[in-house]
Structures are given as C-alpha cells and as structure tokens.
C-alpha cells in the first residue's frame, strides 16, 4: 500500500485497504466478505477499534506508534474475520502482516 505522509491512517482506512487487497471481488479463501465481521487486531490479540495515544485521545496510526514508542516495521496488524452468526473465535488474516510491512511512503 502506498500512502502519503500527509494521509492519516485510521482503523477504517487500514481495514478498507486490506479488504481491497485480500478480498478481491468480495471473497477470499475464508469465504464471502458479506458473511463476515471484520476487525483490526494487534499481534498481541488486542482488538483495535481505534488508535489512541498514551493519554487516551483518538489519533492516527502514525501518532499511535509515535506516542507508544513503536515503529511500523516492528508492529504487526491483522484483519480478523469471523462468520457473522458466530460470537467468538476470530481468525487472523496473516497476509495483512506481510502487506503492512510492505507499506511505503510516497
């Protein structure tokens, strides 16, 4: 994913970009996108509804990393999927990790 340094990456924009890449035509090896709930998760298994700085304020992904002393090359994000009727057992799309590490600034 190419992005501009001026573009703020949010949970929504990261999921949207991942869906375009890993769910072409609305489906993947996991099934149809319309039958799934998606979320963004960290390597630690945390569900990321939004990025927050150390003071708890909403921020962009770039600000989140900076605030927490993290580096994008060392921080792994995953698109988590589960069937809409299921209440637990998120599956992780490990390909997003590879894709995120390949992100380059314009």
Under 8 Å CB-to-CB from 12, ≥6 apart: which residues? none
The C-alpha angle 28, 90, 56, rounded to 5 degrees, equals 115
Under 8 Å CB-to-CB from 38, ≥6 apart: which residues? 15, 19, 79, 80, 81
Asked if pLDDT for residue 5 goes beyond 80, the answer is: no
With 0.75 as the threshold, say if the pTM is over it: no
Reported as a pLDDT band with limits 50, 70 and 90, residue 90 is: low
């Amino acid at each position: 994913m190419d992005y501009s340094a001026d573009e703020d990456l949010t949970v929504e924009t990261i999921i949207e970009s991942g869906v375009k890449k890993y769910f072409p035509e609305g489906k993947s090896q996991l099934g149809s996108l319309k039958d799934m709930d998606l979320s963004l998760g960290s390597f630690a298994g945390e569900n990321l509804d939004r990025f927050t700085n150390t003071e708890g304020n909403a921020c962009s992904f770039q600000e989140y990393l900076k605030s927490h002393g993290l580096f994008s090359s060392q921080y792994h994000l995953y698109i988590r999927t589960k069937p809409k009727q299921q209440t637990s057992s998120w599956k992780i799309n490990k390909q997003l990790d590879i894709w995120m590490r390949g992100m380059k600034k314009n």
